[in-house]
């Protein structure tokens, strides 16, 4: 399996196909495997890189560096090592990382696609929920995930997908919980006017975790930004309806 050594941490990635490059960043606690249903179509005419960011999946689970700045620094080194200038597609907190990367190093990014991403949290009514979640993860990690993860998906999603997601979360490192604390004060909208690369907010219509007001507000603060809503999908449309997600991504990244 391919690995990169970045910032004293070994990161697992997969790299397939040729053409314009897509770099996929998964959400909190899962792994690059969440994109697997989209890959067979995309690798026909794209170079597709999926990364397990630090603390998750098959990458190292270090106690340090589990911050927005730490993961962003890893992404800079990953892109430079692979010699790519990708469209960065980030799910949930992965979209936050993609946005921060583009703000810090626009020279490394072709465009950003933020998928059901938490653009800001303090003023959306989610702050108390996040504080409670952080505490419950310490007290009963497995039970908390059993209660929380089904809410990521639209009604009617098969239990197998929910259980597989929970399994990934339990296999990831506990130190990534630090990101929740940092996210409670994350507010990018004042800086989005300076974003120098195109961004599209691709969002599930039925997302119960991140309301549609979030991408719409972020898009309003960002010159040229677009919002694309995927009907019938929840927080992880690339898993719930990979055909619709891939078709939308092709339109955005054309």
pLDDT at residue 129, as a whole number: 79
Give the CATH number of domain 3-253: 3.40.50.1820
HEC profile for 187-207?
CCCCCHHHCCCCEEEEEECCC
Query: CB neighbours of 66 closer than 8 A, spacing ≥ 6?
Result: 54, 55, 173, 175, 176, 178, 179
Query: In whole angstroms, how far apart are CA 48 and each of 17, 25, 159, 234?
Result: 6, 11, 28, 24
Contact 211, 234 (CB under 8 A): no
Q: Among 149, 148, 95, 88, which residue's Cα sits nearest to residue 117?
A: 95
Contact 90, 250 (CB under 8 A): no
pLDDT at residue 10, as a whole number: 98
Whole-angstrom Cα distance, residue 137 to residue 202? Answer: 28
Whole-angstrom Cα distance, residue 22 to residue 140? Answer: 36
* Pairing of β 3-6 and β 9-16: antiparallel
Query: CB neighbours of 130 closer than 8 A, spacing ≥ 6?
Result: 121, 180, 183, 184
Residues in the chain: 254
pLDDT at residue 254, as a whole number: 74
Domain layout of the chain by residue ranges: 3-253
pLDDT at residue 183, as a whole number: 84
Mean pLDDT per 10-residue section of the chain, whose length is 254 residues: 94 98 98 98 97 98 97 98 98 97 98 90 67 91 96 95 98 94 87 96 95 93 96 97 97 87
Task: Specify the 3-state DSSP secondary structure of 135.
Answer: helix
Distance of CA 93 to the CA centre of its chain: 5
**Helix orientation angle between 68-82 and 93-104, rounded to the nearest 10 degrees:** 70
Which pTM was predicted?
Answer: 0.96
């Amino acid at each position: 399996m391919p690995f990169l050594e970045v910032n004293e941490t070994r990161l697992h990635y997969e790299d397939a196909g040729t053409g314009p490059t897509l770099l996929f960043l998964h959400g909190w606690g899962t792994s690059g495997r969440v994109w697997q249903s989209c890959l067979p179509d995309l690798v026909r005419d794209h170079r597709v890189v999926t990364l397990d960011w630090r603390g998750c999946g098959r990458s190292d689970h270090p106690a340090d560096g589990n911050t927005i700045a730490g993961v962003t620094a890893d992404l800079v080194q990953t892109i430079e090592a692979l010699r790519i200038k990708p469209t960065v597609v980030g799910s949930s907190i992965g979209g936050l990382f993609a946005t921060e990367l583009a703000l810090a190093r626009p020279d490394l990014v072709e465009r950003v696609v933020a998928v059901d991403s938490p653009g800001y949290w303090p003023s959306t009514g989610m702050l108390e929920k996040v504080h409670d979640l952080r505490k419950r993860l310490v007290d009963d990690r497995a039970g908390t995930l059993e209660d929380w993860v089904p809410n990521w998906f639209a009604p009617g999603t098969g239990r197998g997908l929910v259980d597989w997601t929970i399994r990934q979360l339990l296999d990831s490192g506990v130190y990534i919980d630090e990101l929740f604390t940092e996210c409670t004060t994350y507010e990018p909208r004042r800086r989005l006017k300076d974003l120098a690369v195109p961004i599209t907010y691709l969002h599930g219509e039925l997302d119960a975790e991140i309301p549609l007001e979030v991408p719409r507000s972020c898009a309003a603060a960002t010159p040229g930004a677009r919002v694309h809503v995927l009907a019938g999908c929840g927080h992880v449309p690339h898993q719930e309806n990979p055909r619709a997600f891939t078709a939308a991504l092709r339109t955005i990244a054309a």
